[in-house]
Amino acid sequence: MIERQKTIKQSVSLSGTGLHTGQRGTLTFHPAEANHGIKFRRIDVEGQPIVEARVENVVDTSRGTTIAQNGIRVYTVEHILASLRGAGVDNVLIDINCEEPPIQDGSARYMLEALKSAGIVEQDAEREYLRLKKAVTYFHPKIGCEISIKPADDFRMEVSVDYNSQVLKPQSATLRSMADFEKEIAPCRTFVFFQELEMLLKHNLIKGGDLSTAIVFVEDVVPAGELQRVAKLFNMESVGIHQGGILNNTTLHFENEPARHKLLDLIGDMALLGKPILGHVKAFKPGHLANTEFVKMIIENLE
């Protein structure tokens, strides 16, 4: 059975604040012709330059995946790319009027909903799947990360995480079909440990973050004064801690939501291959650096 490439039926926009830059802007998905791929257009820059969503354009992987072309950057693209893969969209032009897309709630849910509301349409061109010559394994000894893919006739993914934490226990997540992405993976939000918040702020990150854009795990006992100080930093009256070690501004959608979000990130980063791939992926403690290095290894081992 021949599968057709897909794009969206009409343009659709989302507005909000970028997680790390704090810039408020608008993201607009436009239909694109067959074989166009996924491209960003920085409409706030003279000449409206294009930045292609390709792994060779990755320039930074600290707390997110940043791509750039001819010196023009787009930050934190992984959730957008995951939502496009989840919607089955091959070709789209994405206008953005700042450097970083809106973080929304830290998941891919609202981006996927926007794409579906625009309508997904087939195009008069066959979808090409990438295939492997052999199994590929990436290993990073310093962080203990390992990601592998073996040739197959479908696409599946299993992700496990272990942060040696008392509150975020070792856990895993599985995606057996991209048809399950919308319900099982898209709503899963990014997460952070409480003790990382101040460090991220000091390093000029999460300027657009608030406590509604991530799950915050609290590893140690935190004095009431410290909780109040953090609440003030994020413009909240107060915060507390749920039993189980999560700030009480939110509750988990799934018991293994962190592992599911890491799976979401890996799908987004693997979209930088440029085309969907067939294979079974297994990952332990993936992150954006490992993910993108893994994608480069895949490219070297394609049929």
- The CATH number of whichever domain residue 102 belongs to comes to 3.30.230.20
Residue 241's pLDDT band (cuts 50, 70, 90): confident
Task: State residue 63's pLDDT score.
Answer: 81
Alpha-carbon distance of 12 to 34, in angstroms, equals 19
The catalytic position among 20, 30, 79, 288 is 288
Q: What is the pLDDT of residues 135-158, one digit of tens each?
A: 999 999 988 999 999 999 999 999
Which stretches within the chain are classed as H helix?
78-87, 109-118, 181-184, 194-202, 224-233, 257-270, 288-299
How many CB atoms sit inside 10 A of residue 184's CB?
19
In a domain, 119, yes or no: yes
In a domain, 214, yes or no: no
In a domain, 117, yes or no: yes
**Position 249 pLDDT exceeds 90:** no
What 8-state DSSP symbol labels residue 151? Answer: -
In a domain, 97, yes or no: yes
Alpha-carbon distance of 278 to 248, in angstroms, equals 40
DSSP bridge pairs for 158: 174, 282
**Position 274 pLDDT exceeds 80:** yes
How many CB atoms sit inside 10 A of residue 259's CB?
23
Q: Is residue 242 flagged as an active site residue? A: no
In a domain, 301, yes or no: no
Question: How many folded domains does the chain comprise?
Answer: 1
Task: State the residue range of the domain holding 69.
Answer: 4-128
In a domain, 27, yes or no: yes
In a domain, 286, yes or no: no
Q: What element of type H or E holds 233?
A: helix 224-233
Alpha-carbon distance of 112 to 150, in angstroms, equals 28
